[in-house]
Chains A and B, each alone.
With several copies, the nearest count.
Chain A
Amino acid sequence: MIQMFHVYKSYTSRHRALSDINLKIDKGEFVFIIGPSGAGKSTLLKLMFGAEQPTRGQIIVNGMDIGRGKGSDIPLLRRRAGFVFQDFKLINHQTVYENVALALEVIGLNKKTIRKKVYQALKHVGLLNRMNAVPLVLSGGEQQRVAIARAIVNDPMILFADEPTGNLDQDITKEIIRLFKIISSWGTAVVIATHNRSLLSYHPTKLIALKKGIVQGVFVSSYKDSDTYIPQ
């Protein structure tokens, strides 16, 4: 589903955000990218999503070569993917409902379908009652959950989540990760970037450890819905 070959990314000439990344993420995988602040986790996710272009290397997502900067393909990819941004990226003058619905409107679904799906997504993140509020009046955690709802509302084939629980308490974090797991079990590849090592107790199928833009190791779990987690 996602393949990266010798990918490099430098934002500035002095500094390299990512170096020689090679990885492969399959359908239905549940992947964590961990690493300290500034390691390049967000950059890695953005590359897979076409929000940034690699300096070098090849990125193939869902069969498309998105590293080549062919602008027209990227919207199509994004409509089949979901992304929880670290800074949420909600439209401040639109309501929660409208923000979430946007991800479906760009696909061109009809109003009724949109309503049904948005309600469902908001219900999953526990925000049905805040539907008509604008993001600015929401608490940090509530905003983050709106971002999550928008990312899952279009039944994405790939779900990227950048620090999706940074503003959420333990209980809601558990809920959200459970939700992601369910989505993953339907065949969606879920890629979560986080600094929060306690999330590891949620058993990813693959764990990518980053540090200063370099992959420290990729751990593949053989765990299958049991309780043990065995890094390879």
Chain B
Amino acid sequence: MIIRQLLYFIKKAIQNIRVFFVINLVTIGIISLSLIVLSTFLMISLNLEHCLDKWKSQINVTAYLKEAVTPEELTLVKQKITDFHEVKKISFVSREEALSLLKDTFPGQSGVFEELKDNPLPASIEIQLKEEYNNPQTIKNFAVKVEKISAVDEIEYGRIWIKGYAAFFNFVKSAIVAVGAVILLATVFIISNTIKLTVYARKEEIEIMKLVGASNFFIRTPFFIEGIFQGLLGAFVALLALYAGYHVFTNWMAHSSFLPLQFMQISFLPLKYVILIGVGGMVTGFLGSFFSLGRYLKI
């Protein structure tokens, strides 16, 4: 019985979609275009955030060691630092490594360093903190603790930069959230109001159905199905277009003459967002029908 009724409603919805084919096409077009803009934005900002996070995870505290550190002391220091709960990873940079790094940074001036009698650079331990400790205060606290280790000469952690980094990070994040909210609102508004316009064009049909004794449920359901279908198809088209665009773009990047781009990893929307957009399209389509119909269903 319930299945028969559902089938009936689906049949009705399909029939309506056929009859109002152009309108449905236009509606689905509008929905998918809104969603393309939304999902493109989403993809770009997720990738951007990923970049930022990577960058964030690269911020290190450097502990310069005293010149006269024995291998035994070194092992001890390493152990001590690793034992701090804030620490995620450490890596040792020997004096020789430090010098060759410096030379690499100034390729044009290698002569300068050759003049040095002996290597003036200290060995150091680069410390990467766990994400949750990547803020100015905890880094500072951590630095104080590390400085107390006897083999450690000096601590380097770019005080200003870290504070600024957090602010910048927040800045980019809030900009993304703000623009994203505008786009999301725009999308929802556009979709639901487009459906409102299509329902408006069919208000007489609704009135007539009421007059032959149809319950609100009976009238609404095919509209809901239609709205859900429009939202879903719109989302599908949008995601397809996004994927096509993504494909072309990454292909282009892979063949770019700019090396860093070749290695830059842009990822497509994660599955959960793909599902979110699909479900979001459906829900918006449904709600669009729901609120548009309300007005015409009063006796």
Contact = CB atoms under 8 A, between A and B. Distances in A.
A50 interface: yes
A76 B4 CA distance: 21
Contacts of A106: 209, 212-215, 218
B293 to A, nearest CB: 15
B299 A150 contact: no
Contacts of B8: 105
Contact of A89 (B211, B213, B218): B211
B200 interface: no
A103 B5 contact: no
Contacts of B244: none
B212 A102 contact: yes
B3 interface: no
Interface stretch (A77-85, A123-131, A171-179, A212-220): A77-85
B212 A103 contact: yes
A223 to B, nearest CB: 33
Contacts of A63: none
B208 interface: yes
Nearest to A88: B208
Contacts, number: 53
Interface in A80-128: 80-81, 83, 85, 89-94, 102-103, 105-108, 110
B53 interface: no
B171 interface: no
B213 A91 contact: no
Nearest to B219: A106
A182 B213 CA distance: 24
A38 interface: no
B212 A78 contact: yes
A89 B205 contact: no
Interface in A41-84: 50-51, 53, 69, 71, 74-81, 83
A110 B19 CA distance: 24
* Main secondary structure on B side of the interface with A: helix
Interface residues of A, number: 29
A207 B213 CA distance: 28
A102 B5 CA distance: 14
A91 B211 CA distance: 12
Contacts of B210: 75
A74 B299 contact: yes
Given A50-B299, A93-B19, A108-B5, A75 B208 contact: no
Contacts of A79: 212-213
Contacts of B4: 110
Interface of B: 4-5, 8, 19-20, 204-205, 207-215, 218, 298-299
21 contacts: A51-B299, A71-B299, A75-B213, A75-B214, A75-B215, A79-B212, A83-B211, A85-B211, A89-B211, A90-B208, A91-B204, A93-B19, A93-B20, A102-B209, A102-B212, A102-B214, A103-B212, A105-B8, A106-B212, A108-B5, A110-B4
User: What 10 pairs across the A-B complex have the smallest Cβ distances?
Assistant: A78-B213, A79-B213, A106-B214, A93-B19, A103-B212, A75-B213, A89-B208, A106-B213, A75-B215, A91-B205
